[in-house]
């Protein structure tokens, strides 16, 4: 076998691998109801207003003239200040996130999220806390209703429920 023929199988595997990678990337970038619910709940517990705004329906973000998202973040800032901390103290990272589809239609969906939340003052703190079993993990069980608006899934009911 010549030296060139030895590299043909390796080259074919690399080409097929690159092709499959492109397919997996395109499938992963598709907007789904479960992906939107997970993205919202992650942003909710990390107190990320921009990510929450991108995934919450406009009708659910306001109640009359009151912006519920700003109201929620202001309440969290006030709670942190009363406890003598910065807002980052109230952030939680999620792990073991599991999304269960309760109902899925073309334009509406209901998704139940089950996860473990852990205090996330800083990502390194969370990592060290997991290694040395410091701190506590708390269960998160929340159900979200979503609607599809202009091709993008948005959270409607249950976004700012008190038990979240």
What is the per-residue pLDDT for 30?
79
User: Which residue from 132, 155, 163, 146 is spatially nearest to 51, judged by alpha carbons?
Assistant: 155
Q: Is the pLDDT of residue 18 over 90?
A: yes
Flag whether pLDDT at 162 surpasses 80.
no
Burial grade of 31 (CB within 10 A; 0-12, 13-18, 19 or more): exposed
Q: Give per-residue pLDDT as tens, 59-85.
A: 888 888 888 888 889 999 999 999 999
pTM of the model: 0.77
């Amino acid at each position: 076998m010549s030296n060139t023929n030895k590299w043909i199988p390796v080259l074919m595997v690399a080409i097929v691998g690159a092709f499959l990678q492109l397919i997996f990337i395109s499938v992963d970038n598709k907007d789904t109801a479960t992906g939107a619910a997970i993205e919202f709940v992650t942003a909710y517990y990390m107190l990320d207003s921009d990510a929450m705004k991108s995934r919450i329906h406009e009708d659910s973000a306001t109640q009359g003239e009151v912006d519920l998202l700003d109201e929620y973040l202001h309440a969290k800032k006030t709670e942190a200040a009363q406890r003598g901390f910065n807002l980052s103290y109230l952030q939680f990272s999620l792990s073991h996130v599991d999304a269960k589809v309760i109902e899925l239609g073309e334009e509406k969906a209901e998704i139940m999220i089950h996860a473990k939340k852990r205090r996330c003052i800083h990502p390194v703190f969370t990592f060290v806390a997991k290694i040395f079993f410091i701190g506590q993990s708390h269960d998160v069980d929340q159900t979200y209703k979503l609607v599809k608006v202009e091709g993008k899934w948005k959270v409607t009911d249950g976004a700012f429920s008190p038990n979240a």
